[in-house]
Amino acid sequence: MEFKIAVLQGDGIGPEITNAAISVLDAVAIKFGHKFNYRFPLIGGAAIDRDGVPLPQSTIDECKSSQAVLLGAVGGPKWDNLPGHLRPEKGLLGIRNALGLYANIRPALLHSELKGASPLKNEITKNGIDLVVVRELIGGIYFGERGLRNSPNGKQAYDTEAYSVKEVERIARIAFDLAKNRRRKVTSVDKANVLDSSKLWRTTVAKVAESFPDVQLENMFVDNAAMQLVRDPSQFDVILTSNMFGDILSDEAAMITGSIGLLPSSSLGDSKCGLFEPIHGSAPDIAGKDAANPIATILSAAMLLVTSLDLPAEATAVENAVKRVLSKGWRTPDIYSTGSKKATCSKMGELIALEVLNA
Ligand code: NAD
């Protein structure tokens, strides 16, 4: 079959990690008889340098006419002093909004080969970590009314957390659907003891849960969830939460599995075209050195295959190839330990591509 994929390489290590992912996708194409047509529109700093804006309209159009979008990362010191609306990160918020991507899905899996990389004690990780954070992505406090006003105490700044029933329903359905094919448990995280928006969140999630009788629903306050994640992460299957709480908890969930270079994510809306990206940033400190870990991007490409292109066998082939390369002892510098075999970013891509071809 033939597919069109927009590859937003971005800045810093973005081109290196997306090139490694493309070498794996090319191997999938050969092995399974597909054709992937890549387009490379600009985003972030690269787009600012060429067009003066972080998200040119041509990039939005190219993404909208593709079946899936693979993103590297955006940003870097070169653009840090630009005004807020011209920062590379605005490109990221803009493309999520333009594609209506309201659900951010971040699996956090502790690979058995990399147990030692977790900062948690062995007795905590002995039951494994295999959870997914489902974060609402285009609502809540990051998009609510904000501003400056006068108060009796002088100048005051405010941001507003607001959620409609419809916004909560659609993200909750994604979480329950996901849980159906996993361990069938959703933990909805909120602050319903304080916030009205969380009270509405909780009652709406409970209503959605009625349509999923096989999935257990548990409610947890966000402060407790932050604590439980480091106390016993194995209790979680799918964590469903709002934009800001998800932003914070998903970084915590990523950290407890070891390297930031290993974790993929997808952002989904109502259309099949999703955006798939590693959870890390553009790592300017190692950019251009062929030292980045491309596995998070390669696993994001696997999510792209199953979610947007309906190619589950191909996705599994990529995931298995990653496991085999790790179990053969290959490591990029971020996860290297004495006795392992050293791989650069491009070498890691080649090794995983070879495993796909030779499986
Ligand atoms: P970062 O994730 O880029 O880097 C944090 C640390 O992790 C660095 O030491 C880096 O070398 C390391 N690291 C990150 N990815 C790695 C990989 N694949 N392999 C090995 N090591 C890796 O976060 P930061 O330093 O806070 O941000 C750098 C830039 O990235 C900033 O401009 C920031 O705004 C941007 N950013 C972009 C995204 C995105 O595009 N989605 C997300 C976060 C940050």
Tell me the per-residue pLDDT of 111-124, one tens digit each, with 9 for 90 and over.
887 877 789 999 99
Residue 73 in contact with ligand 1 by CB distance below 6 A = yes
> What are 37's two structure tokens?
């047509």
163 has catalytic annotation: no
For residue 178, give the nearest of 93, 125, 104, 230 by alpha carbon.
104
Q: Is 302 within 8 Å of 319 (Cβ atoms)?
A: yes
* Mean pLDDT of the residues in the chain: 95
Cα–Cα distance for residue pair 293/80, rounded to 1 Å: 24
pLDDT tens digits, 226-243: 999 999 999 999 999 999
pLDDT for 271: 87
Angle formed by the axes of helices 295-307 and 345-358, nearest 10°? 40
Is residue 259 over pLDDT 80? no
Is the pLDDT assigned to residue 64 strictly greater than 80? yes
Q: Quick one: DSSP state of residue 112?
A: G
DSSP-H helix ranges across the chain: 14-32, 45-51, 57-64, 88-98, 122-125, 165-180, 196-209, 222-231, 243-255, 295-307, 312-327, 345-358
Residue 81 C-alpha to ligand 1 middle, in angstroms? 18
CA distance 112 to 225: 24
Burial letters 297-306, b for 16+ CB under 10 A, else e: bbbbbbbbbb
| pTM assigned to the model | 0.91
Coil vs helix vs strand at 358:
helix
Beta partners for residue 133, in sequence order = 106, 239
Cα 150 from chain centroid (whole Å): 39
Say which residue, 259 or 146, is predicted with more confidence: 146
Q: What is the pLDDT of residue 93?
A: 86
Q: What is the pLDDT of residues 299-311, one digit of tens each?
A: 999 999 999 999 9
% of residues, the chain, pLDDT over 70: 100
Residue 79 Cα, ligand 1 centroid: separation in angstroms? 15
Per-residue confidence at 258, pLDDT binned at 50, 70, 90?
A: confident
Q: Give me the catalytic one of 64, 78, 185, 191.
A: 191
Distance 283 CA to ligand 1 centre (A): 4
